[in-house]
Chains A and B, each alone.
Chain A
């Protein structure tokens, strides 16, 4: 397959993405988008080999921009449920929960990472931190999926939706910290800058460019809004990469800054249709980069990924507990509410992909594998648990099944039919 053909496939996927988000295909597909990762993996160098590594590398700049655009969208949407801000306590709960889960995963992985004898302690920290960041979130898409597929609507749906849209702060900012750690020893910057300086630079760059974007979109027309958004985004990504910072963190901060402008609503309407159109090809390319050999060749890495998943479950169960303590609607669910929060998806994979792109080899590949593994397990457990939880609170109407009347025997012939021939399955 040539790079032009691959580009065409990506463009077609973008169109599919727009179609899916456009309404006609709403609710179609998995909340995590793993089917696209699987497709990418199948055609990639690790499986069928229809696309080779050199060709995938050609798309790295596009991939970086797609990731940056994706996190910009997340930043613009952070803490929002539709057009309304989520309640502060839900936002705090989301952020704290992701931080807690990420920290648990880090704590579980770091000792194992040290046993790997990879380079030095800093590399171990980055590996554990990367996996922690990738396994921290609850995907926003799982609630959207429940809304689209099951017509979920109610208090708990809103709470989990706000939770999912607020907890993205933790993985992105944690990734920025670990990238800064990596940049402090390996960037192209001539002057010596401490880790804190890199972290501050990430925030400052994002805020400055966000401010520039706010200034620019005020008096703009048509395509010039796009020029302002895309221009600041690309410039931010490029400069971040030059300094060794995490481009997605810079654009995330930009998005948050723009979220405070009065044009947020208009901008949201403008960029919303692009989100899935960007995410789907990104997931596909993430699949092509997925290299299971690194993990397969080292049994300890398998243990490490399993430990990460287990720690994530513990973290999310605890988060579910916190949610039940703080929110009345959540109390009506069971102790396993946390299982409804284990779905991860595009953001986790994006974090994994960012590490894989910047630190190819054991660290990057393992973080990506862990992110995909978490999404896979979450896909099996999460949506089903969420559906059960929402059924309990009545956010999802129980399905109505028509039960045919029993065949009438000679004795009941002529008697009245049963009052209600519908049986509600609970």
Chain B
């Protein structure tokens, strides 16, 4: 609904009008028949989020806001905490789309990581990962430690307990959002050093964070739970999971490459099967689906010649899924909780952004990065999403004493970063001059059941 052909201004007025109609329709329906609890209520919610999210994104575009923000705001407005056009039950049901969205994000992320680029940027990536991870955990953790008086759940904590919980918060602060990064890159079709850095860092950081999480739990448990002993057993399990995920990912990647080469059609069906079916199976087997699909995407891109075609199909399918995914995330946002915890949340989020910026500058100096990365390298690191929320849920489960409040604070922080992060990254991409114009609109000769072939004249975001 955005992106007029060849720079022509899209119909902003018609988008705004459509948005009003769509909101009004659901508003009237939800007020006239508020007690309807059928499955089609959820279907209406999907339709609304898809339309409303895309339309709001377009209406906000003149303000240079990222599409993601439009999707999120639409979800927040329509969600159970504000207008209540979509109820809690529907939001929960819609969460099932997360696995599909994350599978596509991981596949796309892996497929965007070309070996040549990784080789070129290995110095940048190494320094950034090292500095952002160690520096982030230490500095944000220290700040959290200092903010003890503002944290209701930590008032009675001793030194060691505070150390443990600060470590957990420090690790949580190093989680990023591959989905937000890919969403912005997909919208802006950015190509250049910043786009390449953002993509490779955020995708790699996912693996690093998974290892850090296991380490943090291992160290924090004896500090937080009286009588608990330090044990490295968690690492053994983690090693199995990671190696298994890489192995399965490689196999899936090879099969996907063979499918794209030999069949080439209806990849959407395969992606749906992977997103809904394989994701469940991998989770059941205790493997990391995100890593598995990332490896699969990486294999298709780097061990076959089907990478571009594959990537194009994923982007095409993902375009729809991401709208619902982010709009649902918006509807999930606990607005009352954010209202309650806003002072400490703002301090923590502001400090995290500032620390990411400072550490980014330091890492860039050490790696001698290009100017765009030096200046804007921190921008893709602000967004947080699913991984941080998952980590919060894990803390709640492992440490029932304070976990619930820790998780609530985590959710509030993710809410802020989820809203602010994409805006900052979009600003960075626009300012760095790496954004590219949109593709042409619907035309008689370009409409196909399968997505059209990728344009050949220019390399994709990360291929130059």
Residues of A within 8 A of B (CB): 4, 7-8, 11-12, 14-15, 18, 22, 60-61, 64-65, 187-191, 205, 208-209, 212, 215-228, 230-243, 247, 263, 265-267, 269-274
Contact = CB atoms under 8 A, between A and B. Distances in A.
A222 B453 CA distance: 11
Nearest to B8: A219
Given A188-B35, A238-B47, A241-B38, 16 more contacts: A11-B272, A14-B269, A64-B39, A65-B43, A190-B34, A218-B441, A221-B441, A223-B451, A227-B51, A233-B47, A235-B47, A235-B48, A237-B40, A237-B43, A266-B442, A273-B450
B45 interface: yes
Contact of A270 (B32, B273, B447): B447
B32 A190 contact: yes
A222 B451 contact: yes
B33 A190 contact: yes
15 contacts: A15-B269, A215-B11, A218-B11, A218-B442, A219-B2, A220-B441, A221-B440, A224-B2, A226-B319, A227-B320, A234-B44, A235-B51, A239-B44, A243-B33, A266-B446
Interface string B410-451: 000000000000000000000000000011111110111111
A191 B32 CA distance: 7
B2 to A, nearest CB: 7
A407 to B, nearest CB: 51
A141 B452 CA distance: 28
B32 A189 contact: yes
A18 to B, nearest CB: 5
B316 interface: yes
B13 to A, nearest CB: 10
Contacts of B39: 60-61, 64
- Of A209, A218, A223, A233, the most chain B CB neighbours within 10 A belong to A223
B51 A4 contact: no
- Of B1, B15, B38, B450, the most chain A CB neighbours within 10 A belong to B1
A61 B42 contact: yes
Interface residues of B, number: 65
B157 to A, nearest CB: 44
Residues of B contacting A: mostly: helix
Contact of B26 (A191, A219, A239, A272): A239
Given A18-B265, A215-B14, A216-B1, A231 B47 contact: yes
A274 B265 CA distance: 13
Given A239-B25, A270-B447, A212 B18 contact: yes
- Of B15, B272, B442, the most chain A CB neighbours within 10 A belong to B442
Contact of A212 (B3, B21, B26, B33): B21
Given A18-B265, A215-B14, A238 B51 contact: no
Contacts, number: 198
Nearest to A5: B277
A60 to B, nearest CB: 6
Nearest to A217: B442
A371 to B, nearest CB: 22
B128 interface: no
A184 to B, nearest CB: 14
A280 to B, nearest CB: 12
A6 B444 CA distance: 36
Contacts of A18: 265-266, 269, 449
Q: Which 4 A-B pairs have the closest CB atoms?
A: A238-B44, A234-B47, A273-B449, A223-B319
Nearest to A234: B47
Contact of A22 (B265, B317, B442, B451): B265
Interface string B287-322: 000000000000000000000000000001101100
A289 to B, nearest CB: 15
Given A11-B269, A60-B39, A228 B1 contact: yes
A175 B439 CA distance: 42
Given A222-B451, A238-B44, A243 B1 contact: no
B26 A225 contact: no
Contacts of B25: 205, 208-209, 235, 239
B54 interface: yes
A12 B272 CA distance: 11
Interface string B261-277: 00001100100110011
Contacts of B29: 238-239, 242-243
A238 B43 contact: yes
A231 B44 CA distance: 9
Nearest to A236: B47
Nearest to B40: A241
B36 interface: yes
Contacts of A226: 319-320
B442 A220 contact: yes
Contacts of B26: 235, 239
B30 to A, nearest CB: 8
